[in-house]
Chain A
Amino acid sequence: MSENPFEVFIEDMENEEVYLRVNAMHRVRIICTLIGVENIRSQLIPYFDSLLDKEEDEVLFAMAEELGNIAELMPDQSKLLLNLLEKLVSFDETVVREQAVNSITVVCEYLSDPEIVNIIVPMWLRLAQNEDNFICKISAVSLMSSIYGRAGCQKENMRQEFAELCKEETLMVRRAVASKIGEIAQEMEKTYVIAQLLQVVKELCYNEQDTIRQLCSMSLMNIARVLNSQEIKANILPLIILQAEDKSWKVRMSLAQILADVAQILGQEIADFQLIPIFTNLLKDCQSDVRVEAVKSLLRFIKLISRERVYLIIGNIQQLTEDPIAQVKQNICEVIGQVANLLPKQQSQNQLRKCLFQLMSDENWEVRRNAIKAMGVFAIAIEFEELNKLIPHLKRCMNDPKWRVRKETIQTIIQLALQLKQLDIFIEHLEEVFVLFLRDRAAEVRSIGLSSLCELISVYKQEWALGNLLKKCIEILEKDGGSLFRINALYAIQQICFAIEGPQIETNLWPIVQKYLKDPIPNIRFVSLKVAKSFLKKIGNQNISIQIRQSIYGMFEDPDRDVKFYAQEALQY
C-alpha cells in the first residue's frame, strides 16, 4: 500500500510496448486523484512536457484526451494544463491535434471569463498568427467557436484575426474555415454573422476547389440556423441554389445528402416554393451518386413540405423507378410506399401502383425485395378491389429465386391478410399465395409463415384452419416427397392445434398425426412426436389421451436414438 503513485505511473510509462504506455496514460487520472494539484504542477506536468518530443503519437493522443479529464479533477487550476495543450495543438498528427483542441474546450469550461480574456484569447492569437506552422492556424479555426462567445473585450480583436485566417492561402486552412464557419456563426453576434461570416462563406462557395465548396453545404445550413427567413432568402438561398447547380458532382452530392435538414431549418415556406425545384433537379442529376443521395433524403423532405405540394414530386418518383442504377431504385421503393399514404387514394393507386408493380419484377433482387416491402405499406392505401391486380405479382415474388425476396413477400402477404379480415376475399385472392410458404425451400420463409398462423387463425377462425389450411397440409403430407416440407406441414398442424379446442383436435388432427408417428423417416417421427405431445396438453378426452400415450409408448424402442429419447421425455408428465 505504500507505493508512490507517481512512481508506479513512471514505471509503466517506461514499458517497451506502446499499447501498455497508452493504457498507463489513460490511468493517469488515478495518479492525479492521489497526488493532488501541487504535485501535478511540480511533477506530472514537467514529466508530460518531457514526453512531447519523444513519445509515439498514440501515447500523445491518449495524453491529449486525458488532459481534458485531468482538468475535470482540478477545476480551479485547470489553466495549468494549457501550456501542454498549446504545444499539442500544433502537432502534425491530425488526431492528436483535434483531441487537444477538444481538451482545450473542456478546460475553457472551468475558466472564469477574465481568465478566458487574459489567458485563452492571447493563446488563440498566438496560434492564429503563427506564420511558420499552418497547423496552428487550423487549430485556431477549430477553437474559435468555443472561445469567441466569452472573449469579452477581445471579441473585436478575434474577429479581425479570424478575417485574416479566412484570407489564408493554404488550402488546409481554407478548408478548416469552410467546415467550421457554421459552428462559429452559432456563437457570434448576428450583426457580425451577416457583416463578416456571410461574406466569407460566399467567397468560399465560389472557390475553385470543389472540396471547399463541398464543405460549405453543411456550413450554409448551420449559418441559416441563426438567421430569420428574410435573411435566409436574401443570403443563404442564392448560395444553396448555386450549390445545386455546381459543376462538380461532389458538391451536388453533399448538398443532396443534407437537403432534408436544410429544408427543416429553412422552414416550410421556403421548402415549398424554393427547395422543391432544387430537389427535383437533384433527383434528375446526371451523376448517379447524386441521385442516390437525393433519393435517400427524399422521404424526409416530402414529410417536411405541405401535403398539397407532394404531387409536384410524383413525376420524379415515377421517373426514378426506371433509373438505370439499381441503388436508386432500391431507395425509391421505400419512398413510394410511404408517399402513397400522403396522397389521395385515387391518385396513389393510379400513379404509383404501376411503378411498384414494375419494381417488383426488377432484375435486381434487392430492388424486388425493397419493392415488395414497400408494397406492404402501400397496400394499406389501395382499395381491396384492387387486390386482384396485385395477386399475380405476389405469386411471382413468392416464386422468386432469392429467398430474401420471398421472405419479404410472405411478410407482406401476412400483413395484408391481417388487415383484410374478410374470409371470402382472403380465400379468393390471398390464400393461394399464402400457402406457398408451406413448400418454400428456405427455412426462414417457412418459419415466418408458421409463426403467423396463430394470429391468422384468430382472424379467420377455425373453419378456415380446419378447412382449407388443414387440407393443404394433408396434401403435402401425403403427396409430397420432400421430408422438409412434410415436417413443415406437421408444424403447421401443431400451430392449428394451439388455436383450437380439444374436441376438434381429437377428431380432426390426431388421426392424421397418428399415421406419421410410424413414418419411415426418423425426422418425421420426431416432429410428429412433438406435435402429439402438444395435443396431450390440450385434449380432455381420456380415451384419446390414452391412445396418444400408447402410441408414444410404442416408440420407446425406436431405432433412432433421438426419437427414442424424445418419446421417453414426452411421457415424463
Chain B
Amino acid sequence: MQNRTANSKQTTAGRSQVQPNTTTQQPRAPPQMVQNMARVTDPKHVPKDTRDQFLKKIHFCSQPYDFNDDTKNVKEKQERSQYLQELFDLLKEPNFVNNLVVPHLDLIIEMIEKNIFRPLPILKKTATNGEIGMEDDDQLIDPAWTHLQPVYEYFLQLIVNEQPDVKSLKIFITHSFIQEFLELFDSEEPREREYLKNILHRLYAKLVPRRKMIRKAINDCFYTLIHETYKFNGAAELLDILASIISGFAVPLREEHVIFFKTVIIPLHKVQTCQFYHEQLLRCSMLFLSKDPTLATFLVEGLLRYWPFANSAKEVMFLNELLEVLEVCEISKLEPLIPKLFKRLIKCIAGPHLQVADRAMCFFENDYFLTILKSYKPFTFPLLVPVIAQIADTHWHKVLQESLNALKTILKEIDYQAFDKALNTKDPKYLYIIQDAKNQKKDRQKIEEKWKNLTKQALQKNPNFKEPIVPYSDTHIVGEHNGLNNGNITIL
C-alpha cells in the first residue's frame, strides 16, 4: 500500500518520476567501520573507539558547507560523502542500529536537521505560472542536491528500519520539526519532494501518536496555499500522502475530517495553480466520497462556485471532475443545484472553446447524468432545449454540430411533448447566453433607464450625492466578464 502511493507519482506537471534507489546499492567491500564492528563479539558492548569514531562521523556530517560552489571544501565534501555512506551501511546491521544508532538518535536527528532544514534556494524558471501543456524542458536542478540526497536516503532508511521504536523516535518529531519539514515540500527539486513524501508517509505510518499533529500541520500548509501564497510546489506530494491517510479513515467519518473536506479539499479547487495537483486532489475527493457519498453535493456546489474563468484547460479538468462527482450524488439532493449546473453546462457548450464544449457534450453520453436530466425534466428541459435547438443549427464546428443534433434527438426521444413545449417557451431563461451583444444591450436598456431615473431622484434629494461607478460597463472589456457570447464584444 505504501509503496503504491509512493511510486504512483503523477506526471501531469512534467515532473520526472524518481524512485529512491534504496535497494540497488552496488555491492562493495565493507568499509572499515563496519569491519571493525563485525569483529565485536559481544554486541552489547561497543568498543569505545568504535563509538567515538561513529560520533565523530556524525559530528562531521553535521557541518554546513556551501554546496552551491563545487570548488570550495572539495576534500571535506568528499570525506562527508564517504562518512554518510558508512553511516548508511551501518543501518543494515540490526546490532549496530540497536547499540549505536538508537542511543544516539538525538545527534543523528540533529545531523539530519542541520543538513536538510535550510532556506530553500531559488531556482529561476522562466515560466512560473502553471499553464498546462507547457513542458518544463530544462528542469532546474539544485546544485546542492547531490550532497543532500545521501542525507535524505539515510533518514528514509532510518525510519524504515525496524529497530528505532516509536517511543524513541517520537521525542524528536515535534510540532516545529514537522512544520519545518513541511516547508521543504515547496522545494523546486522533484527528487527532494519525492524523498520528503516517502519519509513523511512512513513517519505517519509509524508514529501513531503523532498522526493528529501531522494532519494539523498539513492542514495549515494547505490553508496557507489557499488563502495566502496560491503556490506550493509540494501540494501534489502532500495530497498523495493524504490520499492514503484518507483511505485509512474509519466510517462514518469524524466531524474533523468532514470539516477538512469542506475547508481544504473543496477550496483547493479555486487556487490558480490547481492544475499542478488536480489529479491528486481528484483522488482525495473521490476517496472522501467513497467514505461518505453525502459530501458529493457539497463538492458539486464548490466546483460550480469556483468555476475557472479564462482558463479552458482548467475548465476541462473541472468538467471531468464534475461528471465523476455527479455520479456519486444522490439525485434527490441535487435539486437546489440544478439551475446552476445546467447554466454552467450550457455556457460550456455555447462557449468559444471547442474542447470545453466537447467535454460538456460528453455529459449527455453518461447514463446517470441522463437520469438526473430526466428526473428534473420540468426544470432542465426549458433551460436546455431552446439553447441546444438554436446552436444545433448555428454552431461553427461541424463535429460539434453533429453531436448537438444527436443531443436534440436524444432529448426528443426522452419526452417529445416536453421537448416541444420547452421549444416554445416564451422568454427562455438562458437563451441570452448565445444571443449577440446587441440584443443583450437592448434588454438592459430598460433597466438602465430606471437606474438613471433613480440617480436623478437621488441627486434631487441630496445635492451632494455622488453617482457610484460600476466596475463592469460597455466601454470596458471586463463587461464581457463571464458572458460567453461568441466574441461579440461591444466596444462603444
Tell me, yes or no, whether B267 is within 8 Å of chain A by CB. Answer: yes
How many angstroms between the C-alpha atoms of A94 and B228 in the bound complex?
A: 8
- Residue of B122, B228, B430, B479 near A19 (CB, 8 A) is B479
- Residue of B220, B430, B454 near A3 (CB, 8 A) is B454
Contact check, A5 vs B454: say whether CB atoms are below 8 A apart: yes
Which residues of chain A come closer than 8 Å to B465, judged between CB atoms?
A: 29-30, 33
Tell me, yes or no, whether B133 is within 8 Å of chain A by CB. Answer: no
Which residues of chain A come closer than 8 Å to B227, judged between CB atoms?
A: 94, 172
How many angstroms between the C-alpha atoms of A337 and B427 in the bound complex?
A: 70
How many angstroms between the C-alpha atoms of A62 and B183 in the bound complex?
A: 35
- Give the segment of A246-254, A487-495, A509-517 that binds chain B: A246-254
Tell me, yes or no, whether B455 is within 8 Å of chain A by CB. Answer: yes
Output the least CB separation between B132 and chain A (Å).
Answer: 25
Tell me, yes or no, whether B179 is within 8 Å of chain A by CB. Answer: yes
Tell me, yes or no, whether A31 is within 8 Å of chain B by CB. Answer: yes
Tell me, yes or no, whether A346 is within 8 Å of chain B by CB. Answer: no
Contact check, B179 vs A27: say whether CB atoms are below 8 A apart: no
How many angstroms between the C-alpha atoms of A69 and B66 in the bound complex?
A: 56
Known contacts A30-B458, A92-B267; A20 and B429 CB within 8 A of each other: no
Which residues of chain A come closer than 8 Å to B267, judged between CB atoms?
A: 92
- Residue of A8, A170, A211, A247 near B223 (CB, 8 A) is A170
How many angstroms between the C-alpha atoms of A16 and B220 in the bound complex?
A: 36
Contact check, B462 vs A33: say whether CB atoms are below 8 A apart: yes
Using CB atoms, name the residue of chain A closest to B440: A17
Tell me, yes or no, whether B146 is within 8 Å of chain A by CB. Answer: no
Using CB atoms, name the residue of chain B closest to A8: B450
How many angstroms between the C-alpha atoms of A5 and B447 in the bound complex?
A: 11
Contact check, B447 vs A171: say whether CB atoms are below 8 A apart: no
Chain A CB within 10 A, most for which of B122, B179, B454: B454
Using CB atoms, name the residue of chain B closest to A29: B468
Contact check, A12 vs B429: say whether CB atoms are below 8 A apart: no
Contact check, B447 vs A19: say whether CB atoms are below 8 A apart: no
Contact check, B472 vs A20: say whether CB atoms are below 8 A apart: yes
Output the least CB separation between B388 and chain A (Å).
Answer: 17
Using CB atoms, name the residue of chain B closest to A135: B227
- Residue of B175, B432, B468 near A30 (CB, 8 A) is B468
Which residues of chain B come closer than 8 Å to A18, judged between CB atoms?
A: 481-482
Tell me, yes or no, whether B118 is within 8 Å of chain A by CB. Answer: yes
Known contacts A31-B454, A33-B462, A34-B458; A171 and B119 CB within 8 A of each other: no
How many angstroms between the C-alpha atoms of A250 and B119 in the bound complex?
A: 8
How many angstroms between the C-alpha atoms of A20 and B457 in the bound complex?
A: 22
Tell me, yes or no, whether A210 is within 8 Å of chain B by CB. Answer: yes
Using CB atoms, name the residue of chain A closest to B221: A171
Which residues of chain B come closer than 8 Å to A17, judged between CB atoms?
A: 481-483
Which residues of chain A come closer than 8 Å to B481, judged between CB atoms?
A: 17-19
- Residue of B180, B220, B461, B483 near A33 (CB, 8 A) is B461
Tally of A-B Cβ pairs under 8 angstroms: 104
- What 0/1 readout, one digit per residue, does chain B (412-435) give for beta carbons within 8 Å of chain A? 000000000000000001101000
- What 0/1 readout, one digit per residue, does chain B (439-466) give for beta carbons within 8 Å of chain A? 0000010010011011101100110010
Known contacts A30-B451, A31-B454; A172 and B430 CB within 8 A of each other: no
Tell me, yes or no, whether A131 is within 8 Å of chain B by CB. Answer: no
Output the least CB separation between A493 and chain B (Å).
Answer: 46
Tell me, yes or no, whether A385 is within 8 Å of chain B by CB. Answer: no
Which residues of chain B come closer than 8 Å to A557, judged between CB atoms?
A: none
Tell me, yes or no, whether A11 is within 8 Å of chain B by CB. Answer: yes
Contact check, B472 vs A16: say whether CB atoms are below 8 A apart: no
Output the least CB separation between B232 and chain A (Å).
Answer: 12
Known contacts A94-B227, A289-B122; A33 and B458 CB within 8 A of each other: yes
Chain A CB within 10 A, most for which of B179, B465, B468: B468
Interface size in chain A (residues, C-beta < 8 A):
43
Which residues of chain A come closer than 8 Å to B180, judged between CB atoms?
A: 208
Using CB atoms, name the residue of chain B closest to A3: B450
Which residues of chain B come closer than 8 Å to A209, judged between CB atoms?
A: 179, 183
Tell me, yes or no, whether A23 is within 8 Å of chain B by CB. Answer: yes
Which residues of chain B come closer than 8 Å to A171, judged between CB atoms?
A: 179, 220, 223-224
Contact check, A208 vs B454: say whether CB atoms are below 8 A apart: no
How many angstroms between the C-alpha atoms of A171 and B183 in the bound complex?
A: 12
Which residues of chain A come closer than 8 Å to B444, judged between CB atoms?
A: 20
Contact check, B458 vs A26: say whether CB atoms are below 8 A apart: no
Contact check, B468 vs A92: say whether CB atoms are below 8 A apart: no
Contact check, A208 vs B176: say whether CB atoms are below 8 A apart: yes
Contact check, B472 vs A23: say whether CB atoms are below 8 A apart: yes
A157-212 contacts to B, CB under 8 A, are 169-172, 175, 208-211
Tell me, yes or no, whether B343 is within 8 Å of chain A by CB. Answer: yes
Tell me, yes or no, whether B470 is within 8 Å of chain A by CB. Answer: yes
Using CB atoms, name the residue of chain B closest to A132: B259
Contact check, A16 vs B429: say whether CB atoms are below 8 A apart: yes
Contact check, A247 vs B305: say whether CB atoms are below 8 A apart: no
Chain A CB within 10 A, most for which of B461, B462, B472, B478: B472
Tell me, yes or no, whether A322 is within 8 Å of chain B by CB. Answer: no
Q: Helix, strand, loop or mixed for chain A's interface?
A: helix
Tell me, yes or no, whether B471 is within 8 Å of chain A by CB. Answer: yes
Which residues of chain A come closer than 8 Å to B224, judged between CB atoms?
A: 171-172, 211
Using CB atoms, name the residue of chain A closest to B473: A23
Tell me, yes or no, whether B263 is within 8 Å of chain A by CB. Answer: yes
Which residues of chain B come closer than 8 Å to A248, judged between CB atoms?
A: 119
Which residues of chain A come closer than 8 Å to B171, judged between CB atoms?
A: none
Known contacts A3-B454, A210-B119, A250-B119; A22 and B471 CB within 8 A of each other: yes
Known contacts A16-B430, A23-B470, A27-B451; A247 and B483 CB within 8 A of each other: no
Using CB atoms, name the residue of chain A closest to B465: A33
- What 0/1 readout, one digit per residue, does chain B (73-84) give for beta carbons within 8 Å of chain A? 000000000000
A233-251 contacts to B, CB under 8 A, are 247-250
Which residues of chain B come closer than 8 Å to A33, judged between CB atoms?
A: 458, 461-462, 465
How many angstroms between the C-alpha atoms of A249 and B472 in the bound complex?
A: 42
Which residues of chain A come closer than 8 Å to B451, judged between CB atoms?
A: 8, 12, 27, 30
Output the least CB separation between A78 and chain B (Å).
Answer: 16
- Residue of A8, A169, A289 near B454 (CB, 8 A) is A8
Which residues of chain B come closer than 8 Å to A247, judged between CB atoms?
A: 118-119
Tell me, yes or no, whether A231 is within 8 Å of chain B by CB. Answer: no
Output the least CB separation between B484 and chain A (Å).
Answer: 11
How many angstroms between the C-alpha atoms of A20 and B227 in the bound complex?
A: 27
Tell me, yes or no, whether B469 is within 8 Å of chain A by CB. Answer: yes
Tell me, yes or no, whether A432 is within 8 Å of chain B by CB. Answer: no
- What 0/1 readout, one digit per residue, does chain B (156-192) give for beta carbons within 8 Å of chain A? 0000000000000000000110011001000000000
Tell me, yes or no, whether A153 is within 8 Å of chain B by CB. Answer: no
Contact check, B468 vs A34: say whether CB atoms are below 8 A apart: no
Tell me, yes or no, whether A56 is within 8 Å of chain B by CB. Answer: yes
How many angstroms between the C-alpha atoms of A19 and B471 in the bound complex?
A: 8
Output the least CB separation between A467 and chain B (Å).
Answer: 54
Output the least CB separation between A26 and chain B (Å).
Answer: 5
Which residues of chain A come closer than 8 Å to B228, judged between CB atoms?
A: 94, 172, 175
Contact check, A26 vs B482: say whether CB atoms are below 8 A apart: no
Contact check, A19 vs B453: say whether CB atoms are below 8 A apart: no
A289-347 contacts to B, CB under 8 A, are 289
Output the least CB separation between A289 and chain B (Å).
Answer: 6
Using CB atoms, name the residue of chain A closest to B336: A54
Known contacts A17-B483, A26-B470; A1 and B453 CB within 8 A of each other: yes
How many angstroms between the C-alpha atoms of A17 and B433 in the bound complex?
A: 10
Contact check, A208 vs B472: say whether CB atoms are below 8 A apart: no
B185-225 contacts to A, CB under 8 A, are 220, 223-224
- What 0/1 readout, one digit per residue, does chain A (53-94) give for beta carbons within 8 Å of chain B? 000110000100000010000000000000000000000101
Output the least CB separation between A58 and chain B (Å).
Answer: 9
19 A-B interface contacts by CB (under 8 A): A1-B457, A3-B453, A12-B447, A17-B481, A19-B478, A19-B479, A20-B444, A22-B471, A23-B471, A29-B458, A29-B465, A31-B454, A33-B461, A34-B454, A57-B305, A69-B468, A170-B220, A171-B224, A172-B227
9 additional A-B pairs beyond A1-B457, A92-B267, beta carbons within 8 Å, are A12-B447, A22-B471, A23-B470, A30-B458, A171-B179, A208-B179, A209-B183, A248-B119, A287-B122
User: Nearest 5 pairs between A and B by C-beta?
Assistant: A248-B119, A23-B470, A19-B481, A33-B458, A19-B472
